[in-house]
Structure 1
Amino acid sequence: MISHIDHLVLTVSDIERAVAFYSGAFKMEPITFGAGRRALRFGNQKINLQLLGEEARNRAQVGSGDLCLITSWPLDQVMAQLASQGVEIVEGPVMKSGACGPILNAKG
């Protein structure tokens, strides 16, 4: 079902400092997407950066993270599987910016 990780979101206190660190230390490629959001691409994955204090923008709750997984299943089948396990879908399906381009996304 799951083939690989597309992206994860990392909360940082200084976005440009994080960009400088990850691009310098690990040679990740800095990119800008959406409405000026920053990320670091490596291989077929990316790390999206989120400013500390803006977690609510993504409906973050205690114990939550933002991890995007790519699947070989159709999205409606994935959503049905998640629902059968008691996972509430809070957003989607909706088009998002993935590591390698646009992706159809659902957020549980």
Structure 2
Amino acid sequence: MHQSEIQCRVRALDHLVLTVASIPETVRFYTQVLGMRGEQFEATDGTRRWSLLFGQSKINLHQKGREFDPKAAHAHPGTADICLLTDAPLEAWIVHLTTHQVEIEEGPVQRTGARGPITSLYLRDPDKNLIEVSVPAY
């Protein structure tokens, strides 16, 4: 393998961006239902922005119609499909989601994640993004 190929590899996902219809509603859902931490921060250009933090990653939020540049070519609410890993048993998630009146669209079902087998539940966030909550088997 050529030396430049070894050096030029992606190591991890730092963040992704969701374009949303309502930042407050999105922050409420991801913090109350998915246990993330909402945080407002000052970007390097001086603007105040919102993010959702979890583990070693984050989701940055863009308000539809007021996206920050550069942005996705077709930034729209409801176009994401995200798989999130959890340590909690899916049975606990089913109770938790029911308590929050969040419909489980599918699951528990067996899937294949980045590192091996996972068991997943599928639900939708307020923008109808598909959210997969998964327990790894590894």
Where on the TM-score scale, by shorter chain, does this alignment land: which range? 0.5 to 0.7
Residue by residue over 1:64-102, the C-alpha shift from the partner in whole angstroms, topping out at 9 and shown as x without a partner, is xxxxxxxxxxxxxxxxxxxxxxxxxxxxxxxxxxxxxxx
Provide the identity percentage. Answer: 38
Q: 2:67 matched to which residue of 1? A: 55
The structure where helix makes up a greater share of residues is 1
Structure 2: segments with no counterpart, 5+ residues: 1-8, 76-138
Higher strand fraction (1 or 2):
1
The alignment status of 1:2 with 2:10, answered yes or no, reads yes
1:31 aligns with 2:75: no
- Which residue number in structure 2 is paired with residue 17 of structure 1? 25
TM-score by length of structure 1 reads: 0.52
TM-score (norm 2): 0.42
- Cα RMSD (Å): 1.8
2:62–2:68: 8 Å Cα contact kept in structure 1?
no
Distance in 1 (alpha carbons) for counterparts of 2:49 and 2:73 = 21
Shift of 1:55: 3.2
Question: CA 1:6–1:53 in 2, change beyond 3 Å: closer, same or farther?
Answer: same
The one-character-per-residue Cα deviations of 1:6-44 (angstroms, maximum 9, x if unpaired) are 000000011011000000111001111122201100000
8 Å contact 2:38–2:53 — kept in the other structure?
A: yes
> Greater Rg, structure 1 or structure 2?
2
Give the Å deviation of 1:56: 6.2
Counterpart Cα distance in 1 of 2:71 and 2:50: 19
CA distance in 2, matches of 1:62, 1:3: 26
Whether contact under 8 Å (2:51, 2:60) holds in the other structure is yes
Higher relative contact order (CA 8 A, sep 6+): 1
2:120 aligns to what?
A: none
Q: Which residue of 2 aligns with 1:102?
A: none
Give the aligned residue type for 1:16: P
Structure 1, unaligned stretches of length 5 or more?
Answer: 64-108
